[in-house]
């Protein structure tokens, strides 16, 4: 009985070492993946007068492969700090203030 207990403790220690190795490998993988993703991201720079398209999130509800999720074109009228951008519709003349993440160059 005593030998079975020792073997069981050794098995538990080995299992904990395997868990710790897996945890460390996961952390390393996440760091490398984030670094790669950040390296591939290019910052969007918008200037006044530039034409852009706006991502329309309501189209996600009626998802269809044939519908475009981008509407526009819009004209950038003002660029604020921290990514806020004021755009003006060419057709209706309405002015919107949106996040720069929702825009892409036309």
Residue 58: per-residue pLDDT: 66
Query: If DSSP codes are grouped into helix, strand and coil, which group holds residue 104?
Result: strand
Inter-CA distances, 100 with 21, 26, 70, 72, 82, Å: 41, 32, 14, 14, 9
Q: What is the pLDDT of residues 66-105, one digit of tens each?
A: 677 888 789 999 999 888 999 999 888 889 899 888 898 9
Give the Cα-Cα-Cα angle 100, 105, 106 (nearest 5 degrees).
135
């Amino acid at each position: 009985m005593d030998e079975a207990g020792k073997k069981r403790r050794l098995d538990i220690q080995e299992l904990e070492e395997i868990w710790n190795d897996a945890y460390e490998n996961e952390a390393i993988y996440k760091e490398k993946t984030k670094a790669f993703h950040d390296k591939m991201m290019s910052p969007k720079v918008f200037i006044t007068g530039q034409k852009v398209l706006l991502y329309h999130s309501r189209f996600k509800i009626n998802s269809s492969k044939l519908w475009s999720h981008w509407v526009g074109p819009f004209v950038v009228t003002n660029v604020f700090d921290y990514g806020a951008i004021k755009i003006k519709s060419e057709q209706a003349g309405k002015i919107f203030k949106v996040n720069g993440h929702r825009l892409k160059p036309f």
